[in-house]
Chains A and B, each alone.
Chain A
Amino acid sequence: MNPRLTVVTAGRVLRQVLRDRRTLALMLVVPVVLMCLLAWIYADGPLFERVGPTLLTVFPFVIMFVVTSVATLRERTSGTLERLLTTPMGKGDLVLGYALAFGLLAVVQGIVVTSISGWLLGLDTEASAVWLVLVVVASGVLGTSLGLLASAFAATEFQAVQLMPATVLPQFLLCGLLVPRDQLPRALELLSDVLPLSHVVDAATAVAQQVQPRGDLATPMLVIAGWIVVALVLGSLTLRRRTP
């Protein structure tokens, strides 16, 4: 592992993403549009306040998952990965470089989407907006890490996109948005305890309902951090210098 190579990789990935207007729009414009729609749907009721913070954190997770899984799959299938692994680049450098690049984009995404939701759409949380940004960014980075790992299980970009509904939608059903997690059937509750998106929703709920969310934020944020580390380690282990 070499921090210089991680930074070189992150710079290269960022340069590629910044050149791709559609991907930028998917990351920055689409979540804003979704939040606007949500505010409009719930224009005359209290539901936007209740569901808004949660969905605000779920959208970046889904979007960063798709963008990262397709971007890293392109590296795996284009022959550049084989070429990179004959250079001094380590497997960890490559995975961390991708995580760093998309993590930075997740930070920008989190700040943009949270700011617009707060100022323009009047989305209000009990805790300060800084906490909300923190959860949104953590959610985006989590999506990035899981997308990096998921790309190992796809052979084509088509398959990578298919992974999204297969892995994200079940988490969406069980994350506590439709039915609070402690009211789920016991087996599903236990399952939802280990799924990463559940903890994103727990964190968002803490920020939405408590002025001082620190206490209830610690556990979900630790679980999210754990998932990020596990996904990145597994993601770099799935890279093989020698292939059949």
Chain B
Amino acid sequence: MTQDAIEIDGLRVTRRGRLVLPGLDLRVPTGQVVGLLGPSGGGKSTVMRAVVGVQEVEGGRVEVLGLPAGHPDLRHRVGYVTQAPSVYGDLTVAENVSHFARLLGVRDPGAAAREAVERVDLTSHAQSRTDALSGGQRGRASLAAALVGAPELLVLDEPTVGLDPVLRRDLWGLFRQLADDGVTLLISSHVMDEASRCDRLVLLREGEVLADDTPAHLLQRTGAADAEGAFLALVDEAAA
């Protein structure tokens, strides 16, 4: 077993003629919740797409759980939630989640789906078609579909967007619980106040890592009161 769940060296990606990642280096330690923070357009989704192996890359090395990103053996072991919820609108929440359970070869897809739906607190809507749900509920259905195969690594692109504070707190509680069970989580967000819930923070701006640190050390180092302040201090520092 490798010490880092994700190892990225010199990742270079151009999307639609724009150099999004000029040469990214990043480590995500196993069993931690790592927050990928920064403004939209900073390259967060591109990093995540590269980690799950759906991003065309120009150069660099991305290793996930000891294998090259996108390796067939990883498809059972990595859960992915895209930024826009990717569920079938004409199927119910339960049908969507159990479909992904079947694709992953889970032994009892129905039971696994019920458990995953319960974990994202959507049991009351399990029999609703997802096109009848709110955006936040669809996002949670998408998350349940990623949880269902008990992955070792979860890559979640803005999973808490559009959720009320109570639900956000509950989901972060779930993420913490998963990490305690040994799951590694890479979670992107542009909401800076979620930073304090992470074991490590990676601040990404214009494809460059501004900081990769624990939340406490980051605040101490920048003298800022919160993650947003730390981010601003680091931007100013880089500009100076």
Contacts and interface: CB of A to CB of B under 8 A. Distances in A.
A79 B84 contact: yes
B75 A16 contact: no
Contacts of A80: 86-88
A86 B56 contact: no
Contacts, number: 69
Contacts of B52: 86
B231 interface: no
Interface residues of B, number: 33
A242 B70 contact: yes
Interface size class of A (residues with CB under 8 A): 20 to 34
A88 B76 contact: yes
A244 to B, nearest CB: 5
Interface in B160-218: none
A243 B104 contact: no
B124 to A, nearest CB: 21
B91 A88 contact: no
A86 B103 contact: no
A243 B54 contact: yes
Contact of B105 (A78, A79, A82, A88): A88
Contacts of A5: 103
Contacts of A88: 72, 75-76, 103-105
A79 B89 CA distance: 12
Contact of B15 (A82, A242, A244): A244
B75 A86 contact: yes
Interface stretch (B23-31, B36-44, B94-102, B112-120): B94-102
A20 B90 contact: yes
Contacts of A4: 105
B56 A242 contact: yes
B16 interface: yes
Contacts of A241: 53-54, 70
Nearest to A240: B56
A19 interface: yes
A90 B15 CA distance: 25
Interface string B7-19: 0000000111000
A243 B90 CA distance: 26
Interface of A: 4-5, 8, 12, 15-16, 19-20, 78-80, 82-89, 241-244
23 contacts: A4-B105, A8-B99, A8-B102, A15-B95, A16-B88, A78-B88, A79-B86, A80-B86, A82-B82, A83-B80, A83-B86, A84-B103, A86-B53, A86-B54, A88-B76, A88-B104, A241-B53, A241-B54, A241-B70, A242-B55, A242-B70, A243-B55, A244-B14
